[in-house]
C-alpha cells in the first residue's frame, strides 16, 4: 500500500505542470462539466505538452532532461528543477490551448474537411457569445422579456458562461422600451449599464445589426433563369401586342375602303 501511495505521489508531482495547464484552460474556456477521469486524462496530455515544450529549452541551455526516465524508472530521482521549469511552460501551453479552443480551430478544420458540422460549444448560446467573432454588429443586441413586457436595447459587454438554465447579461448604453403584442413600444428610460438574469425561456435575444447572409448561388442562378424567362415572355407579349394592333389597323382600313366602294 505504501508503494502505491508513493507511486501516486510521484506521478502527481511529475505531472503537476499538466494540472496547472489544465486549471488555466478550465478558467479561460467555456466547456461542459469534466468528469474526474477526463480531468486526469487531460492533465496527463497537457503535462506531456509542457515537458515537450521544455525539451528544446533544456537542449539549448544544456540542462539535463530526465522526464522519460523518471516516469519509467521508479529508482530515478525526480529532478525538481525540471518540474519547476515545466510548470512555467504550463502558462504558455495553457494559453495556446485556450486560444485554439476559443477560436474553435479543431471544429473549423473538421468543417472545412467535411468531417463534422458540430459547433464545438456546450450550447448554441455559448457558441454565439464566446466563439462568434466580436464585432460591433454582433454585440449590439435586443433582449425581449415577454413576461415583463420589456424590450432592452444595448451593447452586450459581458454574459454568463455557465451551463445552468439561467442566463446573465451585462448591457451598456441601454434603452428600455415597452413591449406588447410582439411590438416595441415607447421608451421608458435610459441607463448607462444594466444587469439582467433569468430563465432562458423568458428571454429572446435578437441581433439586429448582423447583416443578412448572401443567397446561395443555386437560388441566385434560379432567380437569374426566372428573370430571363420573364424577359422572353415580356418580349413575346409586346410582339404579339404590336402584331394585334397592326392587324386591327389593317383590317379597319380595308373595311373602310370596301365600305366606300360599295357606297
How much of the chain, in percent, has pLDDT values that exceed 70? 81
For 218-229, the pLDDT digits (tens) are 556 666 777 778
Given a cut of 50, is residue 139 above it in pLDDT? yes
CATH number assigned to the domain covering 133-206: 2.30.30.100
pLDDT average, residue stretch 40-58: 90
Q: Where in the chain is the domain with CATH 2.30.30.100?
A: 133-206
pLDDT category at 179 given cuts 50, 70, 90 is very high
Please name which of 56, 60, 66 lies closest in space to residue 92, comparing C-alpha atoms.
Answer: 56
pLDDT category at 151 given cuts 50, 70, 90 is very high
Choose the most confident range, by mean pLDDT, from 72-76, 117-121, 150-154, 183-187: 150-154
**Average pLDDT, rounded, for the chain:** 80
In this predicted structure, which of 70-74, 109-113, 133-137 has the lowest mean pLDDT?
133-137
pLDDT category at 46 given cuts 50, 70, 90 is very high
Distance CA 185, CA 250 (A): 65
Q: Is pLDDT larger for residue 227 or for residue 185?
A: 185
Given a cut of 90, is residue 63 above it in pLDDT? no
Amino acid at each position: 500500500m505504501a508503494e502505491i501511495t508513493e507511486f501516486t505521489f510521484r506521478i502527481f508531482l511529475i505531472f503537476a505542470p499538466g494540472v496547472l495547464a489544465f486549471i488555466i484552460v478550465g478558467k479561460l474556456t467555456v466547456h461542459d462539466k469534466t468528469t474526474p477521469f477526463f480531468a486526469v486524462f487531460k492533465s496527463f496530455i497537457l503535462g506531456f505538452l509542457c515537458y515537450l515544450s521544455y525539451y528544446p529549452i533544456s537542449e539549448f541551455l544544456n540542462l539535463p532532461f530526465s522526464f522519460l526516465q523518471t516516469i519509467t524508472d521508479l529508482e530515478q530521482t525526480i529532478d525538481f528543477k525540471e518540474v519547476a521549469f515545466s510548470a512555467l511552460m504550463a502558462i504558455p501551453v495553457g494559453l495556446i490551448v485556450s486560444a485554439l479552443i476559443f477560436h474553435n480551430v479543431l471544429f473549423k478544420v473538421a468543417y472545412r474537411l467535411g468531417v463534422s458540422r458540430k459547433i464545438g460549444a456546450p450550447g448554441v448560446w455559448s457558441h454565439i457569445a464566446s466563439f462568434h467573432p466580436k464585432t460591433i454588429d454582433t454585440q449590439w443586441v435586443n433582449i425581449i422579456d415577454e413576461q415583463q413586457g420589456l424590450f432592452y436595447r444595448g451593447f452586450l459587454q459581458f454574459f454568463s458562461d455557465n451551463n445552468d438554465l439561467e442566463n446573465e447579461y451585462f448591457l451598456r448604453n441601454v434603452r428600455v422600451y415597452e413591449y406588447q403584442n410582439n411590438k416595441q413600444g415607447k421608451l421608458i428610460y435610459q441607463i448607462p449599464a444594466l444587469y439582467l438574469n433569468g430563465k432562458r425561456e423568458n428571454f429572446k435575444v435578437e441581433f439586429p445589426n448582423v447583416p443578412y447572409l448572401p443567397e446561395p448561388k443555386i437560388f441566385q442562378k434560379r432567380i437569374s433563369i426566372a428573370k430571363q424567362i420573364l424577359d422572353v415572355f415580356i418580349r413575346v407579349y409586346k410582339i404579339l401586342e404590336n402584331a394585334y394592333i397592326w392587324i386591327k389597323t389593317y383590317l379597319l382600313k380595308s373595311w373602310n375602303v370596301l365600305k366606300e366602294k360599295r357606297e
